[in-house]
Structure 1
Amino acid sequence: MSGDASQDVEGMDASAGHVLSLLSAESPNIKVGVGGFSMGAATAIYSACCFARGKFGNGTGYPVHLDFVVALSGWLPYARGLNNEFEDYEVGSRAASLPILLCHGRGDDVIRFRYGQMSAEKLTSFGFEDLTFKSFPSLGHYTIPEEMDEVVHWLTSKLGLEGEP
């Protein structure tokens, strides 16, 4: 990975489109979110951007409403191409209202911590105001119970599930 790497918008659109096809079958009265680990996290973060923009990178509409995004040990792909896409009020409003949890280990030797950190900074600059970035000092490219506890706590608080079994 590098900041100068080529940007596979077509591939990211295909991945986010597959996730969208799964989500579009859900009942409209339930809360819908995306989450993933590593490349799945990259797809989840990219999906958050598509939701906020209302379209995929290729311009095709993104018709599903997202209620939350969770990304573990991932990064924001195609960040350079998205730079000017978040100036519209409607896009900013959707970005501001979408809760996102990013978790990343400082010991990750596959997706370096700095890519997770830079992704959080870029998303914040795009107007994602409800973003939580949680780092874990000794975590590598895997999950640990403490990270899963953080995800459960965050989801419980964001989805209003406190006190439910």
Structure 2
Amino acid sequence: MSYPPHSMSSGSRGSRRTLEFGRTYVVRPKGRHQATIVWLHGLGDNGSSWSQVLDSLPLPNIKWICPTAPTRPVTLLGGFSCTAWFDVGDLSEDGPDDWENLDASAAHIANLLSAEPADVKVGIGGFSMGAATALYSAVCWALGKYGNGYPYPVNLRAVMGLSGWLPASRSLRSKIEGSSEAARRAAFLPILLYHGTCDDLVPYNYGERSARYLSSAGFRYLTFKSFDGIGHYTVPREMSDLSNWIAARLGLEGSRS
């Protein structure tokens, strides 16, 4: 592992403080444990709010792990401190990216999944900044390593992102395209992306562009779906569609429709 499971440096913005991950919430499976998914909240949120949403989904054979990001100053918010998986200044494809803390969060997520039984399928999902971190993890899985070169340790079976974006999309696409092995691995990972057309926080075109970059990099089993008139939030039909996709992709038995 490249980082300890519960701490991380605040990293590339020059601070030397050590930031601690917050509380992790777990939703136990109500049926036979077939899959475990780490679900990542958005900027300023915490794992508790999503654990309640996920507990209501008709997926009795999934264990949900909902960690809470460290509290850190966020450049996009003028330095205001809140829970965030990494620092972000803007969402452009060439904007500065907090590689150190993207790696640290991806490693923390992998640590949570590495303890799962070998016969349990594992995946990562998230909303907004959580979706961005999930997509970064997907790229690390395809490359077989984090951005810092340490090996990526878990075998992802599915990645989901709601209202998110791929950080440093152009750079990460180039890394995958430059490795035939990474492109081969990418071709086998199902990815689901949803985005509201009226999202005023993470604009729709950012999500659409990220999906295009991932597809061109070799992620062949990527589904991008737009929700007309929806802003930066989820709606019941989106969560229902997400549940159906997860059950189908992970081959779960006994899921309620």
Matches within 5 A, 1:90-109: 90-109=181-200
Percentage of identical aligned residues: 55
Aligned equivalents of 2:254, 2:111: Cα separation in 1: 32
Deviation at 1:63, TM superposition (A): 1.3
Query: Which of 6, 10, 31 is the equivalent residue of 2:121?
Result: 31
Q: 2:210 aligns with which of 119, 135, 159?
A: 119
Higher Cα Rg, which structure: 2
Contact 2:197/2:228 (CA < 8 Å) preserved in 1? yes
The 5-angstrom pairing of residues 65-144 of structure 1 reads 65-86=155-176, 87-144=178-235
Note the alpha carbon deviations across 1:109-152, whole angstroms, 9 max, x for none: 11000010000000001100000001000111110001101101
Distance 1:121 1:137 in 2: 19
**Bigger proportion of residues as strand:** 2
C-alpha contact 2:93 2:168 (8 A) present in aligned 1: no
Aligned to 2:248: 157
Partner of 1:10: 100
TM-score by length of 1: 0.94
Q: Which amino acid aligns with 1:88?
A: S
Q: What letter matches 2:112 in structure 1?
A: L
For residues 238 and 255 of structure 2, what CA distance do their matches in structure 1 show? 21
2:152 and 2:208 map into 1 onto residues whose CA distance is 26
List alignment gaps of at least 5 residues for structure 1. none
| Aligned partner letter, 1:12 | L
Shift of 1:28: 1.3
TM-score (norm 2): 0.62
Count of equivalent residues: 165
Query: More helix per residue: 1 or 2?
Result: 1
* 2:144–2:182 Cα contact (<8 Å) kept: yes
Q: Give RMSD over aligned pairs.
A: 1.3
2:112 pairs with one of 6, 12, 22 = 22
2:133 to 40, 43, 48: 43
Matched residue type, 2:186: A
Structure 2 residues not aligned, in runs of 5+: 1-90
Structure 1: distance between partners of 2:156 and 2:248: 16
Q: Structure 1's 151 and 55: CA in aligned 2 closer, same or farther, altered over 3 A? A: same
Contact 2:95 2:168 in 1 (8 A): no
Q: Shift of residue 84 of structure 1? A: 2.7
Within 2, Cα distance between the matches of 1:3 and 1:91? Answer: 21
